[in-house]
Structure 1
């Protein structure tokens, strides 16, 4: 399983795949993932789970997600930053009103569902779960 495939899943969950080319996304996500893995190395099991659009099981895997979301601007100080996520969507989907609308709906849903998380990095898991639960219905999850 390639690291690129795992990172593409994360990027799709982070809603950036609609805005930039796959090459650009890979370069951005690879750089961010490298930074996050230095602090929160993920296990092979977590990598496989992420590839299958499933939540990681280890504490480092959960914190890796939170780190990625923070680096992408979707979370800030451990909390979901829906306003910034919406600004990203507005910026990168200005010429794609259908995608912009669907992404806005996803972010609105998750803004209502995501709390602060009960454990270290818990809100990152809540963001991941919300994106996973609703993104497929809205057409944003790639095939595993």
Structure 2
């Protein structure tokens, strides 16, 4: 194999993981910043201390996104940043702007909005907002992990100090 072709293949192979790590790193910033509103929303959403503590580990494999109260908390948190419409569905433009506000956010914005929108479509028939939103969140977590953009918990912890 000619040296130029080997070099090109090496560059392509190295570029893929870097882009995935880059988007996971951006996602860690989005998660850390978004999560700072959780305490404010705990009481409003009826989230127990135990579930709230678990929610800090949203991206861990063993955390199941199933509690209706999590959906209520996500609605409250999203409203703090104007990320949802009045019908508790994503405000696409505001979500794009929010994600783009983070370092390298433009690399993740379209992907994240598309994933959330796809999940919203899957659960559009659930009328009760908190129940629908928790299903959307679980779907989003699954799809983000599948697509390699989910952050590691250690990444989130590393950037938490930025947003306190």
- 5+ residue gaps, structure 2: 1-22, 154-164
Q: Secondary structure at the match of 2:108?
A: helix
Alignment of 1:142 with 2:145, yes or no, is no
Q: Which residue of 2 aligns with 1:36?
A: 41
Q: How many angstroms apart in 1 are the aligned matches of 2:70 and 2:132?
A: 13
Structure 1 residues without counterparts, runs of 5 or longer: 1-14
1:99 to 94, 97, 108: 108
CA-atom RMSD in angstroms: 3.6
Q: TM-score, normalised by structure 1?
A: 0.59
> More helix by proportion, 1 or 2?
2
Length, aligned pairs only: 124
Provide the TM-score with structure 2 as the length reference. 0.54
Map 1:18-97 onto structure 2 (within 5 A). 18=26, 22=29, 26=32, 29-30=35-36, 32-47=37-52, 49-50=54-55, 51=57, 52=60, 53-57=63-67, 59-83=68-92, 84-89=94-99, 91-92=100-101
**Greater RCO, 1 or 2 (C-alpha within 8 Å, sep 6+):** 2
